[in-house]
Amino acid sequence: MKLFRLAPLALAALLVLTGCPDKKTTTEVETPDKLPVAPVFNPDSAYAFVAKQVAFGPRVPNTAPHVKTGDWLISKFQSYGLTVREQPFQAMAFDGKMLKARNIVAQYQPQAARRIAIFAHWDTRPFADKDEKNKNAPLDGASDGASGVGVALEMARILAAQPDSLTPAVGIDFILFDAEDYGYDSSTQSELTNQLAGLESSGGSSWCLGSQYWAKNMMPAAYKPEYGILLDMVGAKNGKFSREDLSRQRARDVVDKVWNIAAQIGYSDYFLFQDSPGITDDHVFTNQAGVRTIDIIDHLPVGDDYFPAYHHTTDDNMSVIDKRTLKAVGQTVLQTIYGE
């Protein structure tokens, strides 16, 4: 299509002369670029990884299921030949508890110069404070936590299984944060004191303790991937991923790339071309650390109910998980990696 450069006045005159121009006759219909071959993401396998985490029990820091799940995640990545490191840390939660936590870093093709980060959080919220009845009960975190990790694990499994001829041009770092979901929610916990309120006034948060620690102690050191993709709540039936504000501000090109690929491979029911407000999630701190990161997170672009109904309730269990959503996200991110 040729672009006609007209001065605004001339353009106005033209519009007056021709009336309302028919846009269709002047808009070129773009044929999508042919996408590179990417491996097939297996949603059954991703689902099994989500179920396995949930079966350990809620992954709340300072509990046995949390430790066991962390050990299992490390052994799974190692079994696929990835280079795995742990980043142990202690952090005080908003209620004054000292949390024993660890971030997990698993590198695929660690020698590759060009890198992409896949982030997720592997802990679960200790209380279902948005639940109608069981506000102090822990939750399974099937979507909020386990789904992002399940997609990451399945990607690692698939990448490791590829022949040399189908190796992507980039290395991938799977970085799983701990203690993301132990934050203070003023809408449900106003009777409690947020002992980290001071941290919040200086750009920190009672949420995302693992990514805040990582941002100050980067692993790998001086880490400079081309960009990062955060997967959070990517497993629920009818998941809706709209274009979150901070993602657009910091990595608009990555948002466009991922959403366009999703549309091209048939997942525009999940990846909505709609904008939504910003959210406090691990990408706030990875962006602060200089890694341009987008957040793929299940939330609606309109209305007061920003989060899906299962969010931070005991309903966030395996019954909300849908393999089709896992497939939409996993295949889209894999296809994105194979386009690099």
Residues binding Zn ion (CB under 5 A): 144, 181
Choice between 118 and 297, CB closer to Zn ion = 297
CA distances, 129 to each of 15, 148, 192, 283, 299 (Å): 57, 21, 12, 23, 18
Shorter beta-carbon distance to Zn ion: residue 141 or 228 = 141
Closest alpha carbon to 248 in 234, 262, 259: 259
Q: Cβ closer to Zn ion: 62 or 78?
A: 62
Size (the chain), residues: 340
DSSP β-ladder status, 171-177 and 98-108: antiparallel
Burial of 94 (0-12, 13-18, 19+ CB in 10 A): buried
Closest contact distance (angstroms) between CB of 141 and Zn ion is 7
Closest to Zn ion by CB, 183 or 225? 183
Smallest separation (angstroms) from Zn ion to the CB of 281: 9
Residue (of 169, 183, 149) closest to 56 by Cα position = 149
| Dist. CA 291–CA 286, nearest whole Å | 5
**Whole-number minimum distance, CB 142 to Zn ion, in Å?**
12
- Compare residues 131 and 181 and give the one whose CB is closer to Zn ion: 181
CB of 125 to Zn ion, least distance (A): 5
Q: Closest separation between CB of residue 249 and Zn ion, Å?
A: 22
d(CA 3, CA 52): 55
